[in-house]
Amino acid sequence: MSLINDALRRASQNEKNRQQPLAPTATGMEAVPKAQGSPVNMILGIAVVVAFLLAGWFFRQWWVARKAVLSAPIAATVAPPALAAEPPPAPVVAVKPAPVVEPAPVKAAPVPTFIPAPTLPPPPAAAPVVVETPFAWPTDLKISAIFYSLHNPRVLINGGIYGVGEEIEGVTVKEIHKNRVTLAANGQTKDLMMSGQ
């Protein structure tokens, strides 16, 4: 309501201002009078006032409805869950006890007086023992020089040059080191040193 009163006061003040004569200026010039308000401005002012009134009325309706919802008891809006009906008890049926049957006496079997000895299989024959004769290493192998390198080492044995994996007099050159050579034959290994070491 205060908005309406303010709007009415302003409208009456504007009306009074229009009716007052304009004061002469100091230089003797008079101010140009303001143009009269058009009816469009008046209609717009009335429309704004009506809009404010309607907004206030809707706000009041909403406020009253909200208060009514909040003040309603919660228990009235929530229905208690329905209890399930209990099933009727099962009928009691009398049961006759089964007749007791006594077991028949068990006769013990006679114990034999002689128990035959179990027959055992004959012991297995012993596996034949293979006696491996030790490998006869050649005694005449002499190293004259070793040409050592990481990728392709070579050795000079009995005047022939051999690499890793090559064979000489029934033995294989397994490894070549800086000062010795490892030979392999028949699953056995032997190190051969440089002459004079």
32 in Cβ contact with 25 (< 8 Å): no
- As given in the structure block, the two tokens for residue 150 are 């990481």
d(CA 193, CA 185): 17
Q: Count Cα atoms within 13 angstroms, Cβ side, for 59.
A: 6
Q: What is the pLDDT along the chain (197 residues), one digit of tens a residue?
A: 577 778 888 888 877 777 655 555 555 555 555 556 678 888 999 999 999 999 999 999 999 988 888 876 654 555 555 666 677 777 776 667 777 777 777 676 666 666 666 777 777 777 777 666 666 777 778 888 888 888 889 988 888 899 998 988 888 999 988 888 898 988 888 888 876 55
Q: What is the pTM of this model?
A: 0.33
* 155: number of Cβ within 10 Å: 24
